[in-house]
Amino acid sequence: MPHRVRPRPAWVVPVTIGWVSFVAAGVAETLFFASFDPQVLTASATFPFELSRLGAYTLGFVLFWALGAAAASAVVWMLRAEPHRSDAADSIEGDEPRA
């Protein structure tokens, strides 16, 4: 089946990673902070840690976002770097001229 892919600009991949992980971070943020009050969390940290609620929400969001973006980037990279029958293998076979 032929590709039915619209030619796309190069920025689409990083921007899509950023945007999809942004949405995922929003969901994670909502679920997490609806269950836990950041003020209680920071108060029970094992090291001195002071952060306003708004600060904790922001930091939490950025962390969720970074995590999602890292995972998505890894997926994209691994799919792209999918080992095809490598050049090395080709060259070994290529030593024997075929009819």
Partner 1 sequence: MSAVPPGIAGKFEDSDSSLYAARKKVYPRELPGRFQHLRKLAMLVLLGLFYGVAWLPWDGRQAVLFDLPARKFHVFALTFWPQDFFFLALLLIIAALSLFFVTALAGRLWCGYACPQTVWTELFMTIERWVEGDRAARMRLDRGPWDARRVLRKLAKQTLWISLAAWTGFTFVGYFAPIHTLGTEVLAFATGPWETFWILFYGLATYGNAGYLREQVCIYMCPYARFQSAMFDKDTMIIAYDDRRGEQRGARKRGEDHQAKGLGDCIDCTLCVQVCPTGIDIRDGLQYECIACAACVDACDSVMDKVGYPRGLVRYTTAHAFSDKPSRVLRTRTLVYAGLLGTIISAFVVGVVLRVPVALDVLRDRNALYRVDDDSVENVYLLKIINLDSRPHRYDVSVTGLAALSIEVDAHAAQHADEDHEVDEHDAAHPRSARTAAVAAGSVGNVAIRVSAPLGTVHGAAKIELSVAATDDPTQVAREASRFFAPVQ
Residues in touch with partner 1 (CB under 8 A): 2-10, 12, 15-16, 19-20, 30, 33-35, 37, 52-55, 57-58
Our CB check for partner 1 shows the closer of 27 and 71 to be 27
Task: Tell me the residue length of the chain.
Answer: 99
Shortest reach from residue 96's CB to partner 1, in Å: 29
Quick one: 68 exposed, middle or buried, by C-beta within 10 A (0-12, 13-18, 19+)? buried
| Six-digit token string for 72 | 């998505």
Shortest reach from residue 3's CB to partner 1, in Å: 6
Residue labelled with tokens 């998505």: 72
